[in-house]
Chains A and B, each alone.
Chain A
Amino acid sequence: MEVSSENFKANVETAVVDDNLKGAMGKLTGALRPNRAKAVAGLPEFDALRDHGIAIKMHTLDHIDTYLEQFEANVVANGGHVHWCADEDSARQTILDLCRQHDVKTVTKGKSMVTEELGLNAFLDNHGILPLETDLGEYIIQLRGESPSHIIAPATHLQQHQIKETFQSAHTHLDADRPMDTAEALTEEARQELREKYGAADAGITGANFMIAETGSTIIVTNEGNGDLTQTLAKTHIVVASMEKILPTMDDAGVMLRLLARSATGQEMSVYTTLSSGPRRQGDLDGPDAFHVVIVDNGRSKMLAGSEREMLRCIRCSACLNHCPVYASIGGHAYGWVYSGPMGKVLTPSLAGLEQAKDLPNASSFCGKCEEVCPMRIPLPKLMRNLREQQTEQKMTPLKQRVALSLWSALASRPWLYRKLTGLMTRTLARLAGKRRVFSWMPMIGEWTKSRDLVAPEGGSFFDRYHARTQPIKGADHDDRTQ
């Protein structure tokens, strides 16, 4: 998918005044935040479980080459095939070649963020292969020609009336007066539209939440059942997975599954968790005839070697999105690429390039909620700070900002000067504010004072007060310069 993160500021301007978006985001966070809190409260071992999960991930990343090799050997032993793709061009071409090899004209798809990363649907379409998204949210946005705005709730930016309008214009063969005013009616309509499509598809393409080295299995976790219909009823099953999804054993997957659903939707377990291990066996009455796993690097090995390594622990639960005040205000599309919210602010610069996404790591108040709710305790604010540092080092930030920062740094590393200057400023501001003790306008922060008053400083600084309290100690040296 094309990166449009350089338009972040303009996207935000549009997003914050979009009433449909505001309404939709309120419903998402209103449902998912309390759900997660309840699920976590219901499992006293949740924090211990997180630590266990993190230890598994750190071990796996340290031995990722070994486990990927073991995975490959077991997929082959199960009768499947593994394909290795260094970048998105290679991955798209590999998938297209597989489709041609199996004479594929139509494809059903389960939800997969890595295929969004590859822009797979548009690519297949351009090469005469018809991809059909089957997850309800993905189906809706495919009809609208949009990209997902949330990694697990792709149509979360839409209100019900917008979905109704989309179905009205797409399903013209249905009675125009049919009931469409409930979530139930819309879900049922999509169910009926897609029901016969799974078996008619030549190939089913799914993603993978995890891959298990021990058994050569890929795992998908879903609630709707569309992913399973996709991979069971099509003649060929193609799994597309980014390489950090690998786990050593089935038990390791068990630990991650306990964390995933609770962090994502607040369920203890999603409805369907499926291990796929190869094609139909001799004597089987159903299942695909061929099984392919396309393993995609596309920037992961670079992250493994770099300072964003911890981000590879991400299990794509979306807890950081659901709890982020910035995401809740602007929705997912403003971020300009596949991944949004706090995880997107780190993943987009890491995978698509910092130059293309320079506003993203800066669009954070560092409230820290993302790290707090992350089941993998990924230090997202720290990683964003790293990226900001890289931007300054590589001179990507505006000159004005860099000059201001070096002045600040010069001041902050000389405490005596800092205190003298801030003391002077405090006293001046207090005097200027007069009786009202507030400023309704202030140069350089005009945008801020446009909608609120700035309270003038009162009294002394922390150090002034501290010194005043400790004054009675005789002979103590309070000269700042000696500290």
Chain B
Amino acid sequence: MTGRNDRAEIFARLKAAQDGRLKAPHPGGMTPPKSAATKGKAMVTHFINKAIAQYATVTELDRFADVPGFMSDWLRGQNLPKEFVLAPILSGLDWAKETTITPRPGAATTADTVGVSLAYGAAAETGTVMMISGHHTPTTLNFVPDVEVIVLSKKDISAGMEGCWEKLRAYKTQNPMPRAVNFVTGPSRTADVEATMVLGAHGPRRLHIVLVDETSPWPKST
């Protein structure tokens, strides 16, 4: 038993407050703003431009099979450690051929500098990626490492958030609602000191998005 149970009291008050009122109808859904590109290549370009405007960096690849090779080059180029934590959904890629890097599939800890995960969707309107929790893609990968790398299939980009909700509803028909859904727009930041923007507040200091042409390896049921 926790505290008093005020449920009945609260609902009685709410119902009394509604008595005799004419009730407003729901206005229905809405379409993404016209200012956003809504289809094809223009939409992908819009996504890239918006993500970059939010201080993310972006790389485009043809195939998912190219991701391990890219990671190897990129980590070296950025002078980052060769060990990183990897979302288990991506552990099926051929990492063994990249002998200079060591991915560790699992959840992230504060000892991890770099995390790599897979997005479930994205909204071009704002350059936002949508991550879902689960054993395939642990939530900690999105927040704990200093450097967050997110792999995203171009086919999973929608014009606005409406497309992301649609994807979530479809997911829910096969699976329970994910414990967490994270919309991520650029790296972590704050402006709490004299309204000056500083990147890297408590979450990742950097966000790199790897865009892939191919369909993502998400199973229908997780």
In Å, the complex CA distance between A44 and B32 comes to 12
In Å, the complex CA distance between A271 and B126 comes to 10
B162 CB–A CB distance under 8 Å = yes
- Are A305 and B23 in contact (CB-based, < 8 A)? no
- Are B194 and A65 in contact (CB-based, < 8 A)? no
Neighbour of A228 across the interface among B7, B10, B194, B203, CB < 8 A: B203
B1-40 interface code vs A (CB 8 A; 1 in, 0 out): 1111111011101111110010111110110011100000
In Å, the complex CA distance between A224 and B188 comes to 5
In Å, the complex CA distance between A215 and B177 comes to 7
In Å, the complex CA distance between A94 and B6 comes to 11
With a CB–CB cut-off of 8 A, which chain B residues contact A397? none
Instruction: Count A interface residues, CB 8 Å.
Output: 106
Neighbour of B192 across the interface among A135, A199, A248, CB < 8 A: A135
Within 8 A of B (CB), among A285-308: 285-287, 295, 297, 301-302, 304-305
Neighbour of B30 across the interface among A52, A68, A301, CB < 8 A: A52
Neighbour of B177 across the interface among A187, A277, A280, A297, CB < 8 A: A277
Closest to B1 in A: A97
In Å, the complex CA distance between A156 and B35 comes to 33
With a CB–CB cut-off of 8 A, which chain A residues contact B169? 250
Within 8 A of B (CB), among A92-117: 93-95, 97-98, 101
A84 CB–B CB distance under 8 Å = yes
Given contacts A287-B179, A304-B14, contact A254 B160 (CB under 8 A): yes
- Are A274 and B182 in contact (CB-based, < 8 A)? yes
Neighbour of A305 across the interface among B17, B25, B195, CB < 8 A: B17
- Are B179 and A43 in contact (CB-based, < 8 A)? no
- Are B188 and A223 in contact (CB-based, < 8 A)? yes
Neighbour of A301 across the interface among B10, B160, B201, CB < 8 A: B10
With a CB–CB cut-off of 8 A, which chain B residues contact A97? 1-3
Closest to A282 in B: B135
A26-48 interface code vs B (CB 8 A; 1 in, 0 out): 01101110000000001111000
B68 CB–A CB distance under 8 Å = no
Given contacts A136-B190, A281-B176, A297-B10, contact A85 B3 (CB under 8 A): yes
Chain B: number of interface residues, binned into ranges: 35 or more
**Stretch from A56-64, A374-382, A401-409 that touches the partner:** A56-64
With a CB–CB cut-off of 8 A, which chain A residues contact B63? none
B63-83 interface code vs A (CB 8 A; 1 in, 0 out): 000000000000000000000
- Are B177 and A93 in contact (CB-based, < 8 A)? no
Given contacts A84-B10, A90-B3, contact A140 B34 (CB under 8 A): no
Neighbour of A187 across the interface among B4, B142, B193, CB < 8 A: B193
With a CB–CB cut-off of 8 A, which chain B residues contact A287? 133, 139, 179-180
A165 CB–B CB distance under 8 Å = no
Given contacts A24-B194, A251-B30, A271-B189, contact A199 B110 (CB under 8 A): yes
Given contacts A32-B195, A224-B201, A225-B201, contact A271 B134 (CB under 8 A): no
In Å, the complex CA distance between A93 and B89 comes to 42
- Are A272 and B184 in contact (CB-based, < 8 A)? yes
Neighbour of B26 across the interface among A59, A215, A257, A271, CB < 8 A: A59
With a CB–CB cut-off of 8 A, which chain A residues contact B138? 284-286
- Are A62 and B201 in contact (CB-based, < 8 A)? no
In Å, the complex CA distance between A42 and B33 comes to 11
- Are B33 and A84 in contact (CB-based, < 8 A)? no
For B7, B143, B178, the residue with the greatest tally of chain A CB atoms inside 10 Å of its CB is B143
Given contacts A251-B162, A287-B139, 10 further A-B contacts (CB under 8 A): A28-B195, A59-B23, A68-B11, A97-B2, A153-B195, A194-B202, A225-B202, A228-B142, A280-B179, A304-B13
11 A–B contact pairs at CB < 8 A? A55-B26, A62-B23, A84-B5, A86-B4, A194-B202, A228-B139, A233-B144, A273-B185, A280-B179, A301-B10, A305-B17
Q: What is A's interface to B at a CB cutoff of 8 Å?
A: 24, 27-28, 30-32, 42-45, 49, 52, 55-56, 58-59, 62-65, 68-69, 78, 83-87, 90-91, 93-95, 97-98, 101, 134-137, 140, 153-156, 158-160, 163, 183-184, 186-188, 191, 194-196, 199, 215-217, 223-226, 228-229, 232-233, 243, 248-251, 254-255, 257-258, 265, 267-281, 283-287, 295, 297, 301-302, 304-305
| Top 3 closest pairs, chain A to chain B, by CB | A225-B203, A94-B3, A224-B201
